[in-house]
Structure 1
Amino acid sequence: MTQRQARLVAHFPGVNSTTVWSDPDSGSQIDFASFAHFARTAERGLFDYVFLAEGLRLREHGGQIHDLDVAGRPATLAILAAMASVTQHIGVVGTLSSTFNEPYELARQLATIDTLSGGRVGWNVVTSPDAFHGANFRRGGFLPYEDRYTRAEEFVALSKRLWDSWETGAVLADRGSGRFIDEQLVHPVVHSGPQFDVRATGSLPRSPQGYPVIVQAGDSPAGRDFAAANAEIIFSRHADFAAGQQFYRDVKGRLPAAGRTEDSLLILPAATFVIGDTDADAAEASRAVGFAQTTPQTAVAWVEAIWGRELPGLDPDGPLPATEPGAGEQRLGQVSTRVEDRVARAAQLRARAAAEGLTVRQLVAAETASHTFVGSPETIAAEIDRHVQGRASDGFVLVPHLTPGGLDPFVDRVVPLLQERGVFRERYETDPETGAPVTLRRTLGLPQPPRPADDTTKREAAA
């Protein structure tokens, strides 16, 4: 039986809860040298693509900027273009909101980078329904939560129409004539829908891969339906084997209703990792990394989010508060505002802290900073292979805890073992005729998106 091939993606850790800022080996989160090192390491490891998150606003807690965001959050599109310029094969994928962007502008920007990179761009489509982020755009909570996927679906469909608005023959081969564009082969896109009213024409011909690979991360029923209809990759949170198998079956089971096949969608959960010479060494290192990932400020903010109020004087190295939670709402994290839910959660945390003798910071680290893969290189390679062969995932989006060198140990120690197992590539595919790098979609083994029937096709059919 043919072994399934593992897909690997590198998530630039940057500004998130996995980053250990205090480590002596930690570098800048925003200098281009960090992005360049990370992208080149991922390409050296033959990864499919580098993945970037997007922060439209610095996170706050109690009206203050959270300590995870003090390094800054640069704009994704600029970084994608820069990383593509220092690599040849690897894809570059960015998270960009369908709530606080407009289809023509974003489609044009993505098409530009996709064309310049030779077809190596992907778009992680996210929705942003809340007033906190909306305040940056003078929109507040203008979009009801239940409408966010309606807008996203219309956004993606309209973007594809813009990317498809140039026919294949729109760029003429006879450049000596001085006339490059046949205006009859470039079509305006006229769209009127509940979210957008647009009359426009795409400003570029199709890129070598058609258009950017569409990635999506929604997990709700609406998000899963959106993914089955639109996404080519799902950035999943189900890294546990059993939960991953269930999610895999559920989402891929929705594809036939959307007229799609199983190989048209990849499911790639996020995964953290700690590597040791032995499994015992890695387990000890994992505890130390998890504690370092949980700063005293983060621990206090996490508890305050559950308690629904500020807790002045809370000692991160002391016990949980004796008072009961309230109904307030904190900015950091998604916590239910129902008092009974908060009280029940507080009781669970108190029970665990008492049973294991944990301080506030130790408890928060235990609750939030566990790692997906912990062990020797052999153990981690075997676990990744088990998930892929068992259809719990098609691979993983790996999130190291150090910037920019945290991916290097995985590339040096785990990738060769996956190659020995025959489940990971030993070189990038290149065009058999020219030897040039291929597109991201081809690297991922995804089908080329079909072109809609254009006027040329219709004229040929009529003839």
Structure 2
Amino acid sequence: FLPQEERYSRAKEFLATTQELFDSWHGDEILADQESGVFLRDAKAGSFVHTGQHFDIHGQFNVPRSPQGRPVVFQAGDSEEGREFAASSADAIFSRYATLKEGRAFYTDVKNRLAKYGRRHDQLLILPAASFALADTDAEAEELARTVRRQQVSGATALKHLEFVWNRDLSSYDPEGPLPDIDPDVSDNHISKGRAQVRMYRDPLATAREWRELAAANKWSIRDLVINTGNRQNFIGSPQTIARTINEYVQADASDGFILVPHITPTGLDAFADKVVPLLQEQGVFRTEYEGPTLRHHLGLAHPDDVRDEQRAAS
């Protein structure tokens, strides 16, 4: 495997190389004239040469440019390197910070990194993943949320959740029984290599101690603990409550919007679209018509050519 410290360097060059391929077409090369038999105005369309630390390639890219110039690039890493990579190169971040306090801190941190790359705040969208429990009343939504969480957390899932903290194989433990009586392994060789997951539990020993106290006080099994302390739905309530809360998050600079994660697919978004979206439209914070045919249009992101022209003018 590539050493950890080199991965983002390679990723950044990989993305830059990919963008060079997309930009090797300008959008007006295809003539497709049946009478003359000429397909391309420029036979060299798509030609490229790239020489770098990780990639040394040349040739002719045979995929014409799409109407949006380049595909929209989402980034999902949360390490220091991941945040810098997003600030320099991504169009949007698929974030896990969907609470108001954490969302605002993440939003501010990443947006403040953009200036060094000559980018404006609106050129990188922060879009946390957000789950929801929607019902006619807040009380009914709370009951639905509890039911869904119990359905989502199986015994095996609960044990895997604890393994992130204990840094041990816990498959021999009974998920309906008490928490492990051994302490977490705090060595650097973490069972999970994902930095974001490790950072969620900066002090495994303190986390284990807190969870044992909670489990003892509430007579919780391993599975009960994970259900009650794990990922609660981000938005729970009536359509009015959820619409109001989403708008509050965006207005408070905790996000630029949300990527909804329904607990049932493919029909899980139907109720949200029918009951919550109209309320957001009434508040003037959700579009009533599409402004263009591409995802880039839908997200309000500028065309890459326009961004490049703006940067050249500024320099």
Contact 2:159 2:171 in 1 (8 A): no
* Pairing partner for 1:367 from 187, 211, 229: 229
Question: Does 1:234 pair with 2:89?
Answer: no
SS in 2 for 1:385: helix
| Paired AA for residue 247 in structure 1 | F
In structure 2, the residue matched to 1:28 is none
Question: Structure 1 pair 332/274, CA: closer, same or farther in 2 (3 Å)?
Answer: farther
Amino acid at match of 1:446: L
Q: Which amino acid counterpart does residue 177 of structure 1 have in structure 2?
A: S
Change in CA separation of 1:445 and 1:314 when aligned onto 2, cut-off 3 Å: same
What amino acid maps onto 2:181 in structure 1? A
Quote the offset at 1:149 in angstroms: 1.1
Q: Find the aligned partners of 1:292 and 1:211 in 2 and give their Cα distance.
A: 40
The alignment's C-alpha RMSD in Å is 2.5
1:349 and 1:358 map into 2 onto residues whose CA distance is: 10
For residues 283-312 of structure 1, the C-alpha deviation after alignment (integer angstroms, 9 at most, x for no partner) is 222122112110012112333443344446
Give 1:159 shift: 0.8
CA distance in 1, matches of 2:166, 2:108: 37
Q: Secondary structure at the match of 1:213?
A: coil
How does 1:24-423 map onto structure 2 within 5 Å? 141=1, 143-172=2-31, 174-183=33-42, 185-311=44-170, 314-326=173-185, 330=191, 341-423=203-285
- Matches of 2:303 and 2:212, distance apart in 1: 53
- Asked if the contact 1:167–1:185 (Cα under 8 Å) also holds between the matched residues in 2, the reply is no
Partner of residue 298 from structure 2, selected from 424, 431, 443: 443
1:184, CA displacement in angstroms?
5.2
Per-residue deviation, 1:313? 5.1
- 263, 268, 291: which one aligns with 1:429: 291
CA distance in 1, matches of 2:244, 2:203: 39
Pairwise CA distance, 1:240: 1.1
Q: For 1:315, what is the secondary structure of its paired residue?
A: coil
Secondary structure at the counterpart of residue 374 of structure 1: strand
Q: Percent identity?
A: 49
Distance 1:224 1:284 in 2: 37
Task: Name the CA distance, whole Å, in 1 between partners of 2:193 and 2:26.
Answer: 47
Change (3 A) 1:331 1:160: closer
Q: Tell me which amino acid in the other structure corresponds to 2:218.
A: E
- 1:16-46 Cα distance to aligned partner (Å, 9 max, x none): xxxxxxxxxxxxxxxxxxxxxxxxxxxxxxx
Partners of 1:311 and 1:186 in 2: how far apart?
Answer: 56
CA contact (8 A) 1:164 1:452 kept: no
Whether the 8 Å contact between 2:92 and 2:125 is mirrored in structure 1 is yes
Letter in 1 for 2:245: E
Task: Please give the alpha-carbon distance, in whole angstroms, between the structure 1 residues aligned to 2:88 and 2:203.
Answer: 34
Q: TM-score normalized by structure 1?
A: 0.60
Shift of 1:201: 1.6
Distance apart, 1:420 and its partner CA: 1.7
Deviates more, 1:344-353 or 1:324-333: 324-333
- Asked whether the 8 Å contact 2:32–2:40 carries over to 1, the reply is no
**What residue ranges of structure 1 are gaps of 5+ in the alignment?**
1-140, 431-437, 454-463
In 2, the alpha carbon distance for the partners of 1:308 and 1:241 equals 29
- Post-superposition shift, 1:356? 2.8
Measure the CA separation in 2 of the matches of 1:197 and 1:429. Answer: 39
C-alpha change, 1:384 and 1:155, in structure 2 (3 Å) is same
Which protein, 1 or 2, shows the higher relative CO under an 8 Å CA cutoff with sep ≥ 6? 1
* Unmatched tracts of structure 2, length 5 or more: 309-315
- The alpha carbon displacement at 1:151 in A equals 1.0
Distance 1:333 1:198 in 2: 31
Give the secondary structure class of the aligned counterpart of 2:228: helix
Distance 1:332 1:360 in 2: 23
378-387 or 183-192, which moves further after superposition?
A: 183-192
Post-superposition offset of 1:427? 2.6
Aligned partners of 2:137 and 2:237 also within 8 Å: yes
Runs of 4+ in 1 over 6 A off after TM superposition: 332-335
3-state SS, counterpart of residue 414 of structure 1: helix
Q: 1:168 to 1:295 in 2, by over 3 A?
A: closer
Contact 2:46 2:62 in 1 (8 A): no
